[in-house]
Amino acid sequence: MSTPPSKGRIVLVHLYPREMSIYGDLGNTRCLAARIRRHGYECVVHDHHPGMPLPEQTHLFMGGGGQDSGQSRVEDDLAVIGDRLHGLASDGTPMVMICGMYQMFGHAFITHDGVDLPGLGILDVTTRGQSTRMIGGIVLDTGFGEVVGFENHSGATMLGSGQQPFGQVRAGFGNNGVDGTEGARTHNVIGSYLHGPILPANPRVADALIAAAAERATGRPFEPAELDDSVADEARIRQIRRLLSTSAKSAKSAKGAKSAKGGWVSSR
Ligand code: GLN
């Protein structure tokens, strides 16, 4: 059987796979590359390490989470490639930035010890490290439907006044555990706390990024193939059901505890 001709060539850049890629975030790069190929396009994955030049042609970016120490190790390089990333982002290049890299795409991440790591300011968000961590399964309502993932961060992120969030929290903490927002979205840049990894569990988000990348790479509308996502869909739906029922139960017991003791009980 002869292979059909490629619909085009998409260059996917994984930012800092050594320093910034935890809790399975590498799965996002693997998911994007696999889906790009299954849709009938060629995919070139470029691992970007500090000190390296970016390729001339780039159509899609992925950056993952990391420790605070990893974030300080990539800070200098981000300052070098920052102008290029700003230009690409405002020009509509799709990018997905998770947790630590989401924080670095904001104005700053101020660690719990008071160290100020300046970010790129592509997203109008600012993050401060807290003494407690926000950990667990998380469910969102987003422009791509319900999205599920896993969060683990001590940074609490506040959105600037005009900044659109990525989604609204239905279960979990999100940006700060207080205002019900999760992540941020500007042009085709998505910043989010969701590990999991987010893209294999939520293929609609992956395909939205791929569609924008394919259009940029070929100058033509995205020509998707029909992919079977039944296993991912089933896994996501079950996980959402489980997390929503657990969060409803804990909200109920917190309410009971509050009236019993007459004191303050967090609903989370
Ligand atoms: N250091 C950041 C925080 O804890 C990022 C963590 C992460 O990427 N999972 O807020």
Mean pLDDT for the chain overall: 93
Pairing label, strands 125-142, 108-110: parallel
Helix, strand or coil, per DSSP, at residue 95: strand
pLDDT of residue 261: 32
Ligand 1 pocket mutation pick from 25, 103, 126, 128 by most atoms within 8 angstroms of CB: 103
- What is the distance in A from the centroid of ligand 1 to the CA of 267? 23
For residues 250 and 267, the answer to whether their CB atoms sit within 8 Å is: yes
For residues 191 and 97, the answer to whether their CB atoms sit within 8 Å is: yes
Q: Look up residue 175 and give its two tokens.
A: 């940006």
Determine, yes or no, domain membership for 147: yes
Determine, yes or no, domain membership for 73: yes
Residue 43 bears catalytic tag? no
* DSSP letter (8 states) at residue 177: S
Determine, yes or no, domain membership for 3: no
Residue 137's domain comprises 9-266
∠ Cα 54 55 58 (to 5°): 100
pLDDT of residue 252: 74
Is pLDDT of 21 > 80?
A: yes
Determine, yes or no, domain membership for 1: no
Number of domains in the chain: 1
In which residue are the tokens 């917190």 written?
Answer: 254
Q: Is the minimum distance from the CB of 153 to ligand 1 under 6 angstroms?
A: yes
Cis ω for the linkage preceding 197 (within 30 of 0)? yes
Closest ligand 1 atom, CA of 129?
Answer: 10
Determine, yes or no, domain membership for 200: yes
Neighbours of 174 (CB within 10 A): 27
Q: Is the minimum distance from the CB of 106 to ligand 1 under 6 angstroms?
A: no
pTM over 0.85: yes
User: Taking the CA atoms of the chain, what radius of gyration do you get in angstroms?
Assistant: 19
- What is the distance in A from the centroid of ligand 1 to the CA of 109? 10
The residue-averaged pLDDT of 244-251 equals 85
Determine, yes or no, domain membership for 68: yes
Alpha helices in 39-67 (DSSP H): none
For residues 156 and 227, the answer to whether their CB atoms sit within 8 Å is: no
Nearest to 58 by CA among 197, 216, 164, 264: 216
Residue 99 bears catalytic tag? yes
State the CATH number of the domain containing residue 238. 3.40.50.880
Percent of the chain clearing pLDDT 90 (strictly above)? 88
Catalytic residue, from 31, 43, 99, 153: name it: 99
Q: Is the minimum distance from the CB of 99 to ligand 1 under 6 angstroms?
A: yes
Determine, yes or no, domain membership for 70: yes
Determine, yes or no, domain membership for 101: yes
